[in-house]
């Protein structure tokens, strides 16, 4: 249950106080981990509110209430992964239903839609969801929802959530927003008209690359009740210990997001002037096509950016020479990570579709951590320099016929 006093606090305070006032017996300021799978009933026909761990757990309930409060929704649901959260949301749909989905999409979401939901008769059309004419052109009588990533991963495309949600409502559709990259600290889609929010909480919410989790937040009594039914029925719920770990990470979300944004903006500006870089994708840059919309609907920017190199031959030596930055999948942790989407996060998307969108063999995705920004830039600089030197040497040897 959301505490009314908490609703009046600013988000920094709401985050820091997650679980600090919900344990009335001992007054513990850190909510305990309740590992119990079963709970005693006072007498026949009575319940403490907790019956079985899959349906409800005290530790998970505190996390779920916090998620609903932060996203300005009515109910929260903690899942065992971001993909489990998506599976639970997509269970709203069945045989013959059609979805409209962001064109630039995380590969795991595309895989679930095309290889799993298609088995149950659910189809999807992929368009630039900021283009109302484009989404109208693919709308069908069976279209039930529009699914938006904004910013998208990895090309940082921005969708006007308010405009799309208004369009969806006019056609009796749900608006589902993946808010993983901005978190409720910087963007709250429900306030802009969205019905459902999903998170890979493994990323910025957890923030330390040490917990696998997903979150769903719903708006509206009927939708929240249906999601509670699906959450319990599918059973892909978050464990008590992982719920505790996620809450602990979320307490510092405000501080971390501010540093992620500062560092990523500095890095994006530096990359934007580098001779080896063709394009930088980051919504805080004024030349980004979604810059104005991003400023209108969000109070800040994510810590992830992507950049396209002039030459694909730079990719391998850059990934080999980075030192402070790790060549690793995932994003949103305190450590800086660099990923090659074409062969990692987006490998399940067919090559022709990836390349048409722009996820080609010259694109690198960079999750900028909270290290000192000068150290991050210095590491990028030396890796780019090393790559340039290697390619120059290879070109000379090639010209000499060696």
Does the pLDDT value for residue 1 go beyond 70?
no
Beta bridge partners of 218: 75, 196
Does the pLDDT value for residue 199 go beyond 80?
yes
DSSP letter string over 293-329?
Answer: HHHHH-SS--SEEEEEES-GGGHHHHHHH-SSSEE-S
Q: Which of 224, 250, 276 is a domain's end point? A: 250
Q: How confident is the model at residue 5 (pLDDT cuts 50, 70, 90)?
A: low
Q: Are 391 and 311 in contact (CB under 8 A)?
A: yes
Q: Are 351 and 273 in contact (CB under 8 A)?
A: no
What residues contact residue 231 under an 8 Å CB cut-off, 6+ apart?
77, 79, 88, 216, 237
Answer yes or no: 374 catalytic. Answer: no
What residues contact residue 193 under an 8 Å CB cut-off, 6+ apart?
161, 162, 165, 166, 169, 175
Does the pLDDT value for residue 39 go beyond 60?
yes
Residue 179 lies in a domain: yes
Residue 307 lies in a domain: yes
Q: Which pLDDT belongs to residue 185?
A: 98
**Segment 210-217 mean pLDDT:** 98
Q: What's the whole-number average pLDDT of the chain?
A: 94
Helix (H), strand (E) at residue 243: helix 240-250
Distances (CA, A) of 370 to 238, 245, 255: 27, 20, 10
Q: Which of the following is catalytic: 60, 203, 308, 362?
A: 203
Does the pLDDT value for residue 354 go beyond 70?
yes
Residue 293 lies in a domain: yes
Beta bridge partners of 214: 79, 200
Answer yes or no: 54 catalytic. Answer: yes
Q: Which pLDDT belongs to residue 8?
A: 85
Residues 178 and 305 in one domain: no
* Reported pTM: 0.94
Helix ranges (H only) for 40-106 are 58-71, 82-90
Residues 283 and 378 in one domain: yes
Q: Which of 229, 250, 271 is a domain's end point? A: 250
Q: How far apart are CA 11 and CA 27, in angstroms?
A: 23
Residues 130 and 277 in one domain: no
Q: Which of 250, 275, 305 is a domain's end point? A: 250
Residue 402 lies in a domain: no
Q: Which of the following is catalytic: 9, 39, 54, 74?
A: 54
Q: Which of the following is catalytic: 178, 195, 242, 379?
A: 178
DSSP letter string over 348-360?
Answer: TS-HHHHHHHT--
Q: Are 144 and 93 in contact (CB under 8 A)?
A: yes
Answer yes or no: 203 catalytic. Answer: yes
Between CA 247 and CA 256, with CA 253 as vertex, the angle to 5 degrees is: 140
Q: Which pLDDT belongs to residue 344?
A: 76
What residues contact residue 395 under an 8 Å CB cut-off, 6+ apart?
none
User: What number of other Cβ atoms are within 10 A of residue 311's Cβ?
Assistant: 12
Q: Are 164 and 139 in contact (CB under 8 A)?
A: no
Q: Which pLDDT belongs to residue 376?
A: 98
Per mean pLDDT, which range of 161-165, 211-215, 395-399 is the poorest? 395-399
pLDDT in tens, 368-396: 999 999 999 999 999 999 999 998 887 76
Beta bridge partners of 124: 99
Residue 401 lies in a domain: no
Residues 147 and 97 in one domain: yes
Answer yes or no: 178 catalytic. Answer: yes
Domains: count for the chain: 2
Q: What percent of the chain has pLDDT over 90?
A: 87
Q: How confident is the model at residue 4 (pLDDT cuts 50, 70, 90)?
A: low
Higher pLDDT, 106 or 186: 186
Q: Which pLDDT belongs to residue 2?
A: 52
Residues 89 and 147 in one domain: yes
**3-class DSSP state of 66:** helix
Between CA 122 and CA 137, with CA 189 as vertex, the angle to 5 degrees is: 45
Assigned token pair, 40: 């005693």
We report the CATH number of the domain holding residue 382 as 3.90.1150.10
Assigned token pair, 148: 């938006």
**Segment 233-252 mean pLDDT:** 98
DSSP letter (8 states) at residue 238: P
Residues 222 and 273 in one domain: no
Q: Judging by DSSP bridges, how do beta strands 304-309 and 277-281 pair with one another?
A: antiparallel
373-399 vs 253-271: helix crossing angle, rounded to 10: 30
Assigned token pair, 281: 């994708």
We report the CATH number of the domain holding residue 133 as 3.40.640.10
Residues 385 and 244 in one domain: no
pLDDT in tens, 259-286: 999 999 999 999 999 999 999 999 999 9
pLDDT in tens, 57-70: 999 999 999 999 99
Range of the domain at 384: 253-395
């Amino acid at each position: 249950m959301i505490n009314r006093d908490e609703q009046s606090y600013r988000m920094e305070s709401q985050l820091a106080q997650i679980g600090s006032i919900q344990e009335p017996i001992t007054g513990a300021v850190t909510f305990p981990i309740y590992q119990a799978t079963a709970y005693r009933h006072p007498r026949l026909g009575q319940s403490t509110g907790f019956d079985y761990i899959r349906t409800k757990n005290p530790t998970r309930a505190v996390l779920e209430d916090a998620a609903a409060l932060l996203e300005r929704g009515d109910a929260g649901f903690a899942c065992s992964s971001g993909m489990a959260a998506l599976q639970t949301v997509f269970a709203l749909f069945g045989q013959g239903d059609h979805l409209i989905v962001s064109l630039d999409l995380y590969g795991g979401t595309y895989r679930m839609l095309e290889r799993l939901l298609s088995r149950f008769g659910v189809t999807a059309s992929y368009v630039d969801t900021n283009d109302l004419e484009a989404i109208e052109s693919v709308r069908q009588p069976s279209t039930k929802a529009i699914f938006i990533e904004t910013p998208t991963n990895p090309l940082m495309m921005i969708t006007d959530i308010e405009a799309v949600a208004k369009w969806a409502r006019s056609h009796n559709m749900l608006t589902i927003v993946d808010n993983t990259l901005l978190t409720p600290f910087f963007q709250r889609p429900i306030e802009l008209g969205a019905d459902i929010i999903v998170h890979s909480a493994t990323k910025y919410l957890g923030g330390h690359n040490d917990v696998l989790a997903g979150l769903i937040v719903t708006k509206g009594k009927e939708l929240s009740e249906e999601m509670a039914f699906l959450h319990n029925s599918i059973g892909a719920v978050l464990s008590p210990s992982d719920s505790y770990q996620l809450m602990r990470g979320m307490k510092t979300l405000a501080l971390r997001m501010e540093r992620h944004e500062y560092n990523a903006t500095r890095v994006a500006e530096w990359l934007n002037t580098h001779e080896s870089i063709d394009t930088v994708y980051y919504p805080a840059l004024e030349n980004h096509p979604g810059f104005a919309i991003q400023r209108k609907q969000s109070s800040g920017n994510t810590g992830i950016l992507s950049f396209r190199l002039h030459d694909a031959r730079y990719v391998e030596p850059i990934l080999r020479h980075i030192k402070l930055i790790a060549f690793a999948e995932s994003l949103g942790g305190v450590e800086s990570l660099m990923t090659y989407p074409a062969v990692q996060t987006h490998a399940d998307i067919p090559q022709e579709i990836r390349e048409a969108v722009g996820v080609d063999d010259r694109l690198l995705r960079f999750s900028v951590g909270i290290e000192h920004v000068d150290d991050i830039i210095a590491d990028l600089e030396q890796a780019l320099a090393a790559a340039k030197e290697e390619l120059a040497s290879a070109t000379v040897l090639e010209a000499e016929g060696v």
